[in-house]
Amino acid sequence: MTETIEIDGTTVHIEGEGADTLVMVHGWPDTHRIWDAQVAAFRHQYRCVRFTLPGFDVRDERRLYSLQEIETLYRKVIDRVSPHAPVILLVHDWGAVFGYRFLCHHPQRVSRVIGVDIGDAGSKPHLKSLSLSGKLFLVSYQGWLALAWRLGPGLGDWMSRAFVRRVDGPTAPDAVFSKMNYPYWIQWTGAAGGYGRAVSPDPTCPMLFIYGERKPAMFHSQVWIEGLAARPECAVKALPTGHWVMNDAPEDFNRTVLDWLLSSRS
């Protein structure tokens, strides 16, 4: 089954069959298409739901989308596609940052969560664990993208595309725009109500955390993944990839997710 619905101007794509609904949310600077390989692998067993974050679609206006707006969109999507049962969240990058916030405020709407490459980023243990070079990398790239948002079309677009080329991101540079960088501007300046303190994922539901080992800096602390791995209903898996784990090693990623979903169901 394939279906699309509109929720507050956002197109939500629904594909596949299954008793469980799997909601997938991407990060910077991607769209819902980043999950193509996962939908192809999961749609025979799960009802796959995905959407592009506001501001990341080429048709979207350039503006700041507040944390409350994003959380409300998560809630409306989940309530619409699965009104009577909690969903499984599969989230990456900013999709994970927003997803962990949603999970914190609406734990009854999520049965299991799969976090990709973003763990307790921004927490005190994470910041303490970073090397000087790791801290410089985080500050430099986030500041670069925040500045690109402020500069806007033209120079800001060029800066955003230059960074995508540098990190070899899967989204084509020509499809990347500075308007996608609003989360960095909000995080750095506190605009649009800010994002407040980082939320470290400590869910009451089972969680799988998958991360790439080949990056200039990690987005989690060692103490956090050790604590997560110690919980019998949770699991941690490292793969020899960069930040876009599901794109760099789709077969290993999909197998890990499917195996864990099967084992965690019981």
- Asked, for residue 230, whether it belongs to a domain, the answer is yes
Residue 201 above 90 pLDDT?
A: no
pLDDT of residue 47: 98
Share of the chain above pLDDT 70, in %: 100
Q: Tokens 């993208």 belong to which residue?
A: 145
pLDDT tens track for 88-119: 999 999 999 999 999 999 999 999 999 999 99
pLDDT at 264 (0 to 100): 85
Whether residue 266 is predicted with pLDDT greater than 70 in this model: the reply is no
What total number of domains does the chain contain? 1
* pLDDT, position 127: 94
Please report whether residue 162 resides in a domain.
no
CATH of the domain at 50: 3.40.50.1820
Q: What is the pLDDT of residues 232-242, one digit of tens each?
A: 999 999 999 99
Residue 239 CB partners (closer than 8 Å, separation 6+): 210, 211, 212, 213, 245, 248, 249, 252, 253, 256
| DSSP codes joined into one string, 97-165 | HHHHHHHHH-GGGEEEEEEES-SSTTSHHHHHH--HHHHHHHHHHHHHHHHHHHH-TTHHHHHHHHHHH
Q: Is 212 contained in some domain?
A: yes
User: Region 158-187: what's the mean pLDDT?
Assistant: 97
The answer to the question of residue 45 being in a domain is: yes
Instruction: Give a yes or no: residue 165 inside a domain.
Output: no
Q: Taking 90 as the threshold, does the pLDDT of residue 200 lie above it?
A: no
Inside any domain, residue 68: yes
Range of the domain at 115: 2-127+196-265
| Residue 136 located in a structural domain | no
Residue 234: exposure state from Cβ atoms within 10 A (0-12, 13-18, ≥19): buried
Q: Within a domain: residue 180?
A: no
Q: What residues are paired with 218 via a beta bridge?
A: none
